[in-house]
């Protein structure tokens, strides 16, 4: 009966929500629900972050968010117990990192469960939105709540897993339209969770599944992409070996071919792609190609640095004697997120070689300007395929004569680069050996 009351409250839109963890997933989600008239408590452990949100400061780049933020329905707070106590819907969007031994780190999840179970969770729903390993809802979240409170899932409280699938920079746009798959153990939990997400869009497609299927599906989505990128990178290395250009070959293969869409080689990383494979295979005790894909993708930054290093040595210079400009710091194009960024990995590797490093990124605050980065540079590494870098070979100024221009993405026109005096190199190409 209690959960039926919760279902009716959610259907009527008279519910209150707490989103625990208002970072790159939780903040857009909170703003999306607040824009639909839901009172949302955005809970975070960082007092400074909460204060910034109260002042209307958006902490990262995200399209459309300024249109709906700040919003009087969105209340940032550090008081998780007070927020949960007043809420009907609790969505967990916390960090799910790996330990130093590449195992699941449940410390943040356990801390949240320790806090929310101090509140009467009767007639509430807990929705796990964060990426997690298979079995997290059934083996950790629900048993933890039931043991601490004496309540029963499906009778006294509802629980579901509904993984996020947004792309950074387009979070709000995708929250309106993307289908949601919801993993549950009981029908009532599904009905409540379904109505919650229909708040965002009454025509949103909602798919019902088991908790483990939902958790597996999210992981496989990211791992599938990651492995494809690894395969593209391996093809790039093979093309180099044979003296050909992988970018030219892949462009040719994709041209007007209805089964095209082959990815091109490039730096691959980010907080989801880099770690989700470990969540997927954490219960296996034998080698697998997900691990091999990780090793290949993670090796590319060092490979790039070594190629630049060898080319500098041909002209009698060492890395520690050289100024290196790195263009791009984010983990992918057109965002400002540095987590698990291959470009930042390049910067760190160069630091260990004592190079003089200037890193420019138009999306990342605190970066060097393009002009000061390129001025007197011995080498320029185009590490991120930001839109701002398209055609950049036409506008670079002040670099040293015979400056190396290493293109990690095949964005630069080799003829223009060479005409402008660069020693042009491209990852995935054996044609441009300098």
Lowest mean pLDDT among 133-147, 236-250, 261-275, 375-389: 261-275
3-class state of residue 56 by DSSP: coil
The 10s digit of each residue's pLDDT in 274-304 is 666 666 666 665 456 777 888 898 999 999 9
Q: Quick one: average pLDDT of 192-213?
A: 97
Q: What is the mean pLDDT of residues 157-183?
A: 93
Task: Decide which of 62 and 320 is more confident.
Answer: 320
Structure-token match 């920079």, residue found: 169
What pLDDT score was predicted for residue 41?
98
* Spatial separation of the C-alpha atoms in residues 424 and 432, rounded to whole Å: 6
pLDDT over 50 (residue 434): no
In the predicted model, is pLDDT for residue 168 greater than 90?
no
When pLDDT is averaged across residues 319-340 and rounded to a whole number, the result is 94
Quick check: 223 pLDDT over 90?
A: no
3-state secondary structure of 90: strand
Q: What is the mean pLDDT of residues 386-402?
A: 95
Cα–Cα distance between 389 and 266 in angstroms, integer? 15
**Chain centroid, CA 32 distance in Å:** 19
Alpha helix (H) residue ranges in 17-119: 26-35, 47-54, 65-68, 80-85, 107-116
Between 92-101, 238-247, 305-314, 334-343, the lowest mean confidence (pLDDT) is in 92-101
Span 249-258, mean pLDDT?
Answer: 93
Q: What is the pLDDT of residue 433?
A: 54
pLDDT at 95: 84
- Overall average pLDDT of the 379-398 stretch: 96
**C-alpha 95, offset from chain centre:** 11
pLDDT at 431 over 70: yes
Quote the crossing angle between the two packed helices 107-116 and 142-149, to the nearest 10°: 30
306 vs 132, which has greater pLDDT?
A: 306
- Min mean pLDDT across 103-107, 372-376, 414-418 is at 103-107
What is the four-CA torsion angle of 417, 423, 428, 429, rounded to 10 degrees?
Answer: 90
Is residue 86 within 8 A of residue 41, CB to CB? The reply is yes
Q: What is the pLDDT of residue 98?
A: 65
Can you read off the two tokens belonging to residue 247? Answer: 């970018």
pLDDT at site 21: 96
Which residues, in sequence order, are CB contacts of 121 under 8 Å at separation 6+? 84, 145, 149, 151, 156, 157
Q: Is 418 exposed, middle or buried, given 0-12, 13-18 or 19+ CB atoms closer than 10 A? A: middle
Residue 220 has pLDDT above 70, yes or no: yes
pLDDT of residue 186: 96
Sign of CA dihedral 394, 399, 404, 407: negative
Q: Provide the mean pLDDT of the chain.
A: 92
* Structure token digits, residue 122: 């009767």
The C-alpha angle with vertex 408 and arms to 404 and 413, in degrees rounded to 5, equals: 70
Least confident segment among 55-59, 73-77, 220-224: 220-224
Q: Quick one: pLDDT at residue 99?
A: 62
Q: In the predicted model, is pLDDT for residue 80 greater than 80?
A: yes
CB 98 within 8 A of CB 278: yes
Q: What percent of the chain has pLDDT over 90?
A: 78
């Amino acid at each position: 009966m209690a959960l039926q009351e919760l279902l009716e409250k959610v259907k009527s839109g008279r519910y209150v929500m707490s989103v625990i963890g208002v970072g790159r997933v939780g903040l857009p989600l909170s703003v999306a629900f607040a824009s639909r008239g839901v009172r949302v408590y955005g809970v975070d452990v960082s007092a400074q972050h909460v204060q910034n949100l109260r002042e209307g400061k958006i902490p990262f780049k995200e399209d459309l968010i300024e249109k709906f933020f700040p919003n009087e329905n969105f209340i940032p707070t550090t008081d998780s117990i007070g927020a949960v106590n007043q809420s009907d819907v609790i969505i967990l969007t916390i960090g799910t990192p790996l330990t130093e031994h590449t195992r699941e780190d449940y410390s943040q999840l356990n801390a949240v469960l320790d806090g929310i179970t101090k509140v009467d969770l009767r007639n509430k729903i807990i929705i796990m939105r964060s990426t997690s390993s298979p079995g997290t809802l059934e083996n950790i979240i629900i048993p933890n709540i039931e043991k601490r409170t004496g309540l029963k899932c499906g009778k006294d409280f509802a629980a579901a897993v509904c993984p996020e699938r947004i792309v950074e920079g387009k979070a709000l746009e995708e929250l309106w339209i993307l289908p949601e798959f919801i993993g549950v153990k009981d029908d009532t939990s599904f009905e409540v969770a379904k109505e919650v997400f229909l708040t965002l869009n009454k025509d949103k497609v909602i798919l019902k599944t088991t908790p483990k299927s939902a958790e597996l599906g999210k992981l496989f989505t990211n791992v599938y992409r990651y492995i494809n990128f690894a395969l593209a990178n391996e093809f790039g290395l093979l093309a180099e070996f044979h003296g050909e250009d992988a970018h030219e070959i892949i462009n040719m293969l994709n041209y007007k071919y209805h089964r095209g869409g082959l990815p091109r080689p490039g730096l691959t990383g980010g907080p989801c792609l880099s770690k989700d494979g470990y969540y997927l295979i954490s219960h296996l005790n034998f080698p697998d190609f997900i691990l091999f894909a990780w090793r290949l993708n993670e090796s590319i930054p060092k490979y790039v640095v070594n190629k630049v290093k060898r080319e500098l040595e041909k002209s009698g210079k060492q890395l520690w004697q050289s100024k290196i400009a790195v263009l791009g710091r984010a983990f992918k194009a057109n965002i400002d997120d540095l987590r698990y960024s291959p470009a930042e990995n390049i910067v760190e590797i160069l630091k260990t070689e004592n190079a003089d490093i200037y890193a420019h990124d138009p999306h990342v605050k605190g970066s060097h300007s393009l002009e000061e980065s390129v001025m007197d540079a011995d080498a320029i590494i185009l590490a991120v395929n930001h839109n701002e870098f398209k055609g950049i070979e036409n506008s670079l100024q002040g670099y040293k004569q015979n400056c190396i221009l290493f293109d990690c993405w095949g964005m630069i026109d080799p003829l223009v680069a060479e005409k402008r005096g660069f020693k042009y190199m491209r990852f995935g190409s054996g044609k441009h050996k300098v």
